[in-house]
Chain A
Amino acid sequence: MPARRRATVRPRAALIFGDLWEFDPAPETADPRLRARYELFIGGSFVRPRSGRYFDSINPANERKLAEIALAGPADVDAAYQAAARAFRPWAATPGRERGKYLFRIARLLQDRAREFAVAETMDGGKPIRESRDFDVPMAAAHFFYHAGWADKLDYVAPGRSVVPLGVVGQVIPWNFPLLMLAWKIAPALAMGNCVVLKPAETTSITALKLAEILQDADLPPGVVNFVTGAGETGALVMGHPAASKVAFTGSTEVGKAIMRQLAGTDRRMTMELGGKAANIVFDDAPISQAVEGVVDGIFFNQGHVCCAGSRLLVHEPVADEVVSKLKNRIRVLRVGDPLDKNTDLGAINSRRQLGTIRRLVASGVREGAVMFQPPCRLPERGFYFPPTLFTGVTQSHRIAREEIFGPVLSILTFRTVDEAIEKANNTAYGLSAGVWTDKGSRILRMSTELKAGVVWANTFNRFDPSSPFGGYKESGFGREGGRQGLLDYARVAGEGAP
């Protein structure tokens, strides 16, 4: 009888991501040049709110107060709309090449003060300085540059037909990309010859008001752009004002629905850029390491406060284990902490309220039986932080697979066939973006036509360009921002019914 072969049990190889080489703090030190108090920006100057009220804007990284912000009431919103209405005729009559000069000037002034704006954006919103420095501010400037280029070429926006501006546009933007969303909103509006009343989110008003300083320096005619600050009530006043020819909203689907109900039956135009629950789909022939990188980028960029975040990972069963284990190793080296540190990958959650939402949804994931993984990481004691989080064993009926979490939380589901991947990806009320990871070109083309999402990225994620239209399907909204399509949303094309 042959001797029984002894099984050689090898300990499972594992990587060590420890503290052998700790990085010293590397804080960005540029002065954000904040004022202690910010007034409303109406008719080209900073004016005290008629409401007489102010609210605090705090730094979510340490809960310290940054500045006082004016709270706009009905009389203030009225004043802003009146200033915009007065400015509209001369502005619309200004030749496109002249309007373009203002936009070029704004873009260049923003570039000149890029570091200052990056630091202000990070302090106000909690995003890592690496992102505000390398993404938010340069991309905001790029949108002004791009639309400056359009201003004298509007005859070519709708070839063979002429376009005219709509009038005064009311805009409300969210807190996840305060300066960038502002640029997305006002640059096309101004290029086309509209005037603007814009309300930034109450937790992140500062960079809008700093941009108002740039608008003054650029000699933009008074009233062309007006900023009113405040919370939801102010937003409702901006969206519901009868002087608005069009309203543009970026934010949650819930608020978007309320605005649509409010404006139903009026002749006001609307564009809505709302929530998302994007699927990032990884096939077995994908370049796995790069796919993992893209998945990480897709969900942890800006702490997951991204409407097009790839918050659902759909992974092909043959590579599911490999992808999950690589993801775990990858998020072990994500650095969570002080947003002003140049090495920080995940900064602070924008507000206590949002942190509460994330915690509630994560708790529901655990309660409903999904398996949670969080790497060991030390979170700062003060401020709002949440560690990068993965959930495996998630099914379509879990709340964490259906609801937008808007935080650094990835829900991982598996699929077996291409059809199943498409079905699962589309099985959501949202349709803003999707990602496909495969080496097969024909599969990319098929997915891009069958996925009901405004943007489908192939072998990359979260790529943006001012010339590329961005917007959603279904409950992710309608209308596009960026590109020719985005401009058309701020124009009436000759032959269309006058509003």
Chain B
Amino acid sequence: MTPRSPRAAHARLLDEIGAVDLVGVEERVAKFATRSIKKASKVWGLRMAVSMTDLTTLEGKDTPGKIESLCRKALRPHDDPSVPHVAAVCVYPSMVRHARRWVAGSGVRVASVATAFPSGQTHYRTRLAEARGAVADGADEVDMVINRGAFLSGDFARVQDEIAGVVEACGRAALKVILEVSELETYDSIRAASFLAMEVLRPGDFIKTSTGKTALNATLGSNQVMIEAIRDFYLDRGVAIGMKPAGGIRAAKQALQYLIAVKETLGDAWLTPRRYRFGATSLLNDLLRQLERERTGAYQAPYYFSEAAESY
């Protein structure tokens, strides 16, 4: 093992950030699922989850019309005007300008995936150009994917340099770095990739679990490993990075479990859309359904809630 070999880089990083034990993580997150959230605390959590949602459509068949309906849903998730608007709409770069038209000035931000989402498998210069283009069209936030191939072959420097390049391309837009946890597989790798990203991110940027385009998306376990990385990084360097689990969170009950994990791991300062987001679409109507359940005492039929999209 030479000092410059990929294995050496890997060993150094893992040595610095420490190991993760899979069994221990699973045991910790199982406890979040035993919490029982009732009444006012449930309503608070549901509304917070609505306000943290990045309402998403990422499909080949997206059109300006589809984006309009997504944006209108984002601005007014439910007939009840006291329900907050969502945090952002998340779309492909070509749809940014259409989204911009509907949500500009409303508080709902426009997020764009970029850098050859979801695989990232194109030239670096093309990926950078895509990010710049999205920002130029008015994206407030950019969701990039990391170079998983480089990561898995041990070329950590390249992974980090590319992230740093996209940070620069973002300018004032916030950046969310998608690790695609299902392709990294182990919790050790997820922790390592989290640190690689956070070391070049700015306060207010995010790390994100998944694209939603693979078989396995966000889990409470991967969320836990990443928020513990955020916690350790914050306590060590004083830089607060945000977190976005994405994909697979469809039920309000799941969303509350994620928020309990945040409350008990990162504390109150992360219970805000500025530091925590859900990448989701169908979740939103379940949150609304549960809010109506709390308000009226009965579950309403699905057709009482406007459809947004059938993406993840």
Contact = CB atoms under 8 A, between A and B. Distances in A.
Interface string B97-134: 00000000000000000000000000000000000000
Contact of A24 (B38, B228, B234, B235): B38
Interface string B267-291: 1110100000000000000000000
Contact of A17 (B37, B236, B268): B268
Q: Which of A17, A21, A293, A333 has the most CB of B within 10 A?
A: A21
Given A24-B39, A288-B18, A16 B28 contact: no
B259 A21 contact: yes
A286 B45 CA distance: 34
B37 A26 contact: yes
Contacts of B48: 21
Contact of A13 (B18, B44, B238, B271): B238
A264 interface: no
B267 A18 contact: yes
Contacts of A293: 24, 27-28
B16 interface: no
B23 interface: yes
Contacts of A342: 34-36
B37 A287 contact: no
A18 B18 contact: no
B21 A287 contact: yes
A290 interface: yes
Given A15-B235, A290-B20, 6 more contacts: A15-B231, A24-B40, A287-B21, A287-B24, A289-B228, A289-B232
B32 to A, nearest CB: 11
Given A287-B20, A290-B25, A293-B24, A23 B37 contact: yes
B310 interface: no
A112 interface: no
A387 to B, nearest CB: 17
A23 B42 CA distance: 8
7 contacts: A10-B238, A15-B231, A15-B266, A17-B264, A19-B268, A26-B36, A290-B23
Nearest to B233: A13
Contacts of A450: none
Contacts of B234: 13, 15
Interface residues of B, number: 37
B185 to A, nearest CB: 17
B263 interface: yes
B251 interface: no
B41 interface: yes
Interface in B18-66: 18-21, 23-25, 27-28, 34-42, 44-45, 48
Contacts of A250: none
Contacts of A311: none
Nearest to B23: A460
A1 interface: no
B269 A16 contact: yes
Interface string A272-301: 000000000000011111110110010000
B18 A23 contact: no
A433 interface: no
Contacts of B38: 23-26
Which 6 A/B pairs are nearest by Cβ-Cβ distance? A290-B24, A26-B36, A287-B21, A15-B267, A20-B268, A342-B36
A293 B38 CA distance: 26
Interface of B: 18-21, 23-25, 27-28, 34-42, 44-45, 48, 228, 231-232, 234-238, 259, 263-264, 266-269, 271
A24 B41 contact: yes
A21 B20 contact: no
A344 B37 CA distance: 12
B35 A290 contact: no
A19 B40 CA distance: 13
A21 B41 contact: yes
Given A13-B235, A21-B48, A460 B267 contact: no
A97 B24 CA distance: 39
Contacts of A460: 23-24, 27
Nearest to B27: A293
B238 A333 contact: no
Nearest to B34: A130
Contact of A21 (B27, B231, B263): B263
Nearest to A14: B235
A496 interface: no
B39 A21 contact: no
A16 B269 CA distance: 6
A333 B264 contact: yes
Interface string A8-52: 001111111111111111100000000000000000000000000
A16 B20 contact: no
Nearest to B272: A20
Interface in A110-153: 130, 134
A182 B273 CA distance: 50
A379 to B, nearest CB: 20
A287 B39 CA distance: 37
Nearest to A25: B38
Nearest to B17: A288
Interface string A228-264: 0000000000000000000000000000000000000
Contacts of A285: 18-19
Contacts of A21: 41, 44-45, 48, 259, 263, 268, 271
A293 B271 CA distance: 22
Contact of B21 (A14, A20, A290): A290
Contacts of A325: 235
B23 A16 contact: no
A244 to B, nearest CB: 41
Contacts of B45: 21
Contacts of B25: 290
Nearest to A133: B34
B295 to A, nearest CB: 16
B28 to A, nearest CB: 5
A480 B1 CA distance: 48
A267 interface: no
A198 B97 CA distance: 77
A18 B263 CA distance: 9
A439 interface: yes
A176 interface: no
A24 to B, nearest CB: 4
Interface string A434-445: 000001000000
A28 to B, nearest CB: 9
A11 B234 CA distance: 12
Contacts of A286: 19
Contacts of A289: 20, 24, 28, 228, 232
Contacts of B271: 20-21
Q: Which of A24, A288, A290, A294 has the most CB of B within 10 A?
A: A290
Contacts of A439: 19
A425 B53 CA distance: 50
A74 to B, nearest CB: 46
Contacts of A10: 238
B44 A294 contact: no
A290 B264 contact: no
Contacts of B34: 130, 134, 342
A459 B21 contact: yes
Interface string A366-388: 00000000000000000000000
